[in-house]
Amino acid sequence: EETMKMLQEIDSPDDAESWVKDRLARKQKIMGFGHRVYKKGDSRVPIMRELARQLGRRFGQEHWVPVCERLEAVMQREKQLCANVDLYAAPVFHLLGIPSELNTPIFACSRVSGWCAHVIEQHEHNRLIRPRSLYTGPARRVYQPRGQGKGPKL
């Protein structure tokens, strides 16, 4: 939803660089960039970009892809961040007539079968599936009743 609002605000590839630099100067997040897993680039982006390009041609709204491409170039140069699939999914959904407030629910719908498979697997084995991970948070702390710790007295 926020990605499409951003694209509509920018509207022209010529405005993309100044828009990004302004947001970065104000320490604001730029939607459609970065991914927890795909650090070197999201393999879904080229496919979604081409779909956005084809739909743009079909519906006479070809400016969305050049705006996204300019954003990609600026974000790569300024923050070394690659586009994620949301950058191009937003104009694809928009061009298909899907309201932007449904972007996140549509994404969730695509995950439902996987979530269900996990639940079924957990029920079959009668145990929760927990990913193996290493805790990297703060060290263990001892509970101290209110007013007895080192913090401010409330």
How many C-beta atoms surround the C-beta of residue 94 within 10 A? 22
Structural contact between residues 37 and 31, judged by C-beta atoms closer than 8 angstroms? no
> Can 11 be counted among the known catalytic residues?
no
> Can 35 be counted among the known catalytic residues?
yes
Buried b (16+ CB within 10 A) or exposed e, 39-72: eeebebbeebbebbbebbeeeeeeebbebbbbbb
Which of 86, 94, 123, 125 is an active site residue? Answer: 86
- Using CB atoms within 10 Å of the CB of residue 10, give its burial: 0 to 12 exposed, 13 to 18 middle, 19+ buried: buried
Which of 35, 42, 94, 125 is an active site residue? Answer: 35
| Residues catalogued as catalytic | 35, 86
